[in-house]
Structure 1
Amino acid sequence: MCTCECVCVCVCERGRECKHGKGALPAGVCCWGCVCSCAWCVCAYTSTWSSPGGGGHTSVSPLRQAVTTATRRRRVSEDAGHTSPPEAHAAGPWCCPQQRPNRMGPRWRIGLQPWASQNHRLEEEAKRFLQYIITPQLQCGSVWESEHWSVCEDDRFSLSQRITSKHCRVYSLGLGADERLVERALVRRGCEAHCFDPSIPEPHLQDSERLWVHRLSVDWRDPNPAIPAQRHHGNTKKLATILNNFGHQEVDILKVDMESAEWKILENLILEGVLSSVGQLLLEVHLHWAGFEVSGEEPDVVRYWFSLLKEVELAHFSLFHSWSDPDKPRLFLHKNLWNASSVYRLGWVNTRWK
């Protein structure tokens, strides 16, 4: 008597391996069983691949054909990505889980621009940044101004026609109550305006026929649903969430004056692709400190600011307006650099908004 393990391995179309016939047998019976099992496997695969539609290839062994075909089918299923073959569902989710459609998801971080110089000095980063924000990239044939905010009404873009037809929509993001002079002026010209003020008592107030104030604060993240919101603080939501809740697909003018929260909000708009739904971006930037939740050494902060504005340009926006507030302190990250003001108002137009 001897101990022998006789194993027959069959490759199924699902790409799995099934092992059968394991046991202790006499030597003669063991050898005879192995021969019979192998002969049965060869006959089974030969009969399968000699049938119509089996391929009819005689130069390659049937077993190799079976393995190759199963492998190809598995690769095709993985490459397709959209649906799994019917047998995958029969085999269970542990075998071939159905994959979701291949869609472009949100970006997780912006791409930083190269350093202004090899030594990474603050002065060089500040010089490049300031030169960028004071140099218009586009001349508008017609400009409307109010309170040093500018709107491009060039005939190359559709804003003037939308104002005339009263299909213009304005979103105004700000902190604290103000007189909303710019928004009221745009309403008088034919726009509807939505302002966001977390301090008002009601969820929504209609200030005039085409001006609404909402008890919301625009943030770069949505609130944690596990943490109850304090009523007197209102709600904070991302702009993409607000647009979806209001059912608004486009915003002709987005005015942002967020008192140093503009950098993280702008980053969120870039990462979530919201800028493609905006016709013009009116942005006030504050340079006396890094801004809310912006960290790093001073040269890193300025490089981050510059990279954000370059991302706006990559989204097909061109700078057409820049105004330096002469009444603000001459501070750039707590220093007097290049005699720069700590506050600038910028105007960007989406050149594809036609």
Structure 2
Amino acid sequence: WRRKSQWPALSQIMYCINTAQRRTETNLSPRWHIDIEPWASERRSLEDEARRFLKYITTPQVSISKGGDEAMLTDAKGAWAVCLDPQYSLTHSIKGKHCRVYSFGLGADDWSLEQSLVRSGCDVHCFDPSLKQSHLQKAKMWLHRLSVDWRDPNPALVAQHQHANTKKLATILNDFGHRRVDMLKADMESAEWKILENLILEGVLASVGQLLLEVHLHWAGFEVPGDEPSVVRYWFSLLKELEHANFRLFHVHSNPSKPRVFLHKNIFNASSAYTLSWVNTQWP
């Protein structure tokens, strides 16, 4: 028997239950909703939510230092960054000649990062629904007239043999016979929030080594409901889900060519677009 003083405190029990519950829910596939973080303050104001969110996306969580200047590979503008620090696995995948990259965009005019990864030995799949041909191959770079979405196409279109140029990432991986992607790059023009939510809910993030994402903040994004404070709280909750999935932010770039607009307002002089790069610290 334990003396009463040796019994665990109720707060300790509840912490263990909540931690176990989160871990269990993370392993379930699919989930039905993300975990919404508490409000930034009791005021539930746009300013407080924006302050917390902007601090979060502009504060790298890990330092990419080993390997010096060669620890990071960027595009010509320095916006998109890939972590080549040997403490993480991408550099080892490249050396082992089994590196796979997915790049999603619309009418992309700068593929310098993708071409650098091809030269490094990666198999690079570029997805762009605006391509004239359904599939092209150039050396180790494949071009596909396809893009990622947070839902699969209407089954009626498939039954009528109509071409569907958007699919969920889980469906694309399955169609291509790929179990994992070392690096996923996506510029989805305000669809990124719902796509990220889908990756979280379906457990697809475990198949991704690095995530490079441009986020757009001038409006809520496609099918993101709620008032302005709730929208920013939802954005923040999605990024905290990434953290719970072992992703750590290592690079942030504010696009100087974009207007300083945050949900149709000028708040803290924030840019309307940021490019963020995360590394999965538990990969593979």
Q: TM-score, normalised by structure 2?
A: 0.84
Q: 1:253 aligns with which of 177, 180, 183?
A: 183
Measured after TM superposition, the shift of residue 226 of structure 1 is: 1.4
Match of 2:253 in 1: 323
Match of 1:98 in 2: none
Pair 1:294–1:233, CA change in 2 (3 A): farther
Match of 1:314 in 2: 244
Match of 1:112 in 2: 36
Give the secondary-structure state (helix, strand or coil) at the position aligned to 2:104. Answer: strand
The answer to whether the 8 A contact 1:199-1:234 is kept is no
Measured after TM superposition, the shift of residue 295 of structure 1 is: 1.6
Rounded to whole Å, the distance in 2 between the matches of 1:200 and 1:325 is 26
The answer to whether the 8 A contact 1:200-1:215 is kept is yes
Match of 1:33 in 2: none
- Sequence identity of aligned pairs in percent? 66
Rounded to whole Å, the distance in 2 between the matches of 1:216 and 1:250 is 18
Measured after TM superposition, the shift of residue 227 of structure 1 is: 3.2
Rounded to whole Å, the distance in 2 between the matches of 1:232 and 1:172 is 24
Pair 1:156–1:256, CA change in 2 (3 A): same
Rounded to whole Å, the distance in 2 between the matches of 1:266 and 1:226 is 26
How many equivalent residue pairs? Answer: 251
Deviates more, 1:184-193 or 1:115-124: 184-193
Q: Which amino acid aligns with 2:198?
A: N
Q: Tell which structure's C-alpha radius of gyration is larger.
A: 1
Measured after TM superposition, the shift of residue 199 of structure 1 is: 2.2
Pair 1:285–1:232, CA change in 2 (3 A): farther
Higher RCO (CA < 8 A, seq sep 6+): 2
Matched, 1:143 2:72: yes
The RMSD of aligned alpha carbons is: 1.8
Q: Which amino acid aligns with 2:283?
A: W
Rounded to whole Å, the distance in 2 between the matches of 1:182 and 1:110 is 32
Measured after TM superposition, the shift of residue 339 of structure 1 is: 0.6
Matched, 1:178 2:178: no
Rounded to whole Å, the distance in 1 between the matches of 2:279 and 2:211 is 6
Pair 1:283–1:229, CA change in 2 (3 A): farther
Measured after TM superposition, the shift of residue 294 of structure 1 is: 0.8
Cα-to-partner distance string for 1:281-318 (whole Å, 9 max, x where unaligned): 00110000001111210001000000000000000001
Q: Which amino acid aligns with 2:32?
A: W
Measured after TM superposition, the shift of residue 176 of structure 1 is: 2.4
Give the secondary-structure state (helix, strand or coil) at the position aligned to 1:290. Answer: coil
Give the secondary-structure state (helix, strand or coil) at the position aligned to 1:323. Answer: strand
Match of 2:121 in 1: 190
Give the secondary-structure state (helix, strand or coil) at the position aligned to 1:155. Answer: coil
Rounded to whole Å, the distance in 1 between the matches of 2:152 and 2:73 is 34
Rounded to whole Å, the distance in 2 between the matches of 1:228 and 1:177 is 27
Rounded to whole Å, the distance in 2 between the matches of 1:247 and 1:233 is 20
Cα-to-partner distance string for 1:47-71 (whole Å, 9 max, x where unaligned): xxxxxxxxxxxxxxxxxxxxxxxxx
The answer to whether the 8 A contact 2:157-2:163 is kept is no
Q: What 5-or-longer segments of structure 2 have no aligned partner?
A: 1-26, 66-70
Q: 1:163 aligns with which of 87, 90, 94?
A: 94
Rounded to whole Å, the distance in 1 between the matches of 2:164 and 2:30 is 27
Q: 1:270 aligns with which of 197, 200, 203?
A: 200
- Residue pairs, 1:327-342, within 5 angstroms: 327-342=257-272
Measured after TM superposition, the shift of residue 264 of structure 1 is: 0.5
The answer to whether the 8 A contact 1:276-1:315 is kept is yes
Rounded to whole Å, the distance in 2 between the matches of 1:267 and 1:351 is 20
Measured after TM superposition, the shift of residue 228 of structure 1 is: 5.3
Match of 1:30 in 2: none
Q: Which amino acid aligns with 1:105?
A: S
- Residue pairs, 1:18-167, within 5 angstroms: 104-141=28-65, 142-146=71-75, 147=77, 148-167=79-98
Give the secondary-structure state (helix, strand or coil) at the position aligned to 2:258. Answer: coil
Pair 1:177–1:137, CA change in 2 (3 A): closer
Q: Which amino acid aligns with 2:73?
A: W
Rounded to whole Å, the distance in 2 between the matches of 1:125 and 1:251 is 33
Rounded to whole Å, the distance in 2 between the matches of 1:171 and 1:313 is 21
Q: Which amino acid aligns with 2:99?
A: C
The answer to whether the 8 A contact 1:199-1:232 is kept is no
Q: What 5-or-longer segments of structure 1 have no aligned partner?
A: 1-102
Measured after TM superposition, the shift of residue 169 of structure 1 is: 0.6
Cα-to-partner distance string for 1:144-172 (whole Å, 9 max, x where unaligned): 22232111111111211211232111001
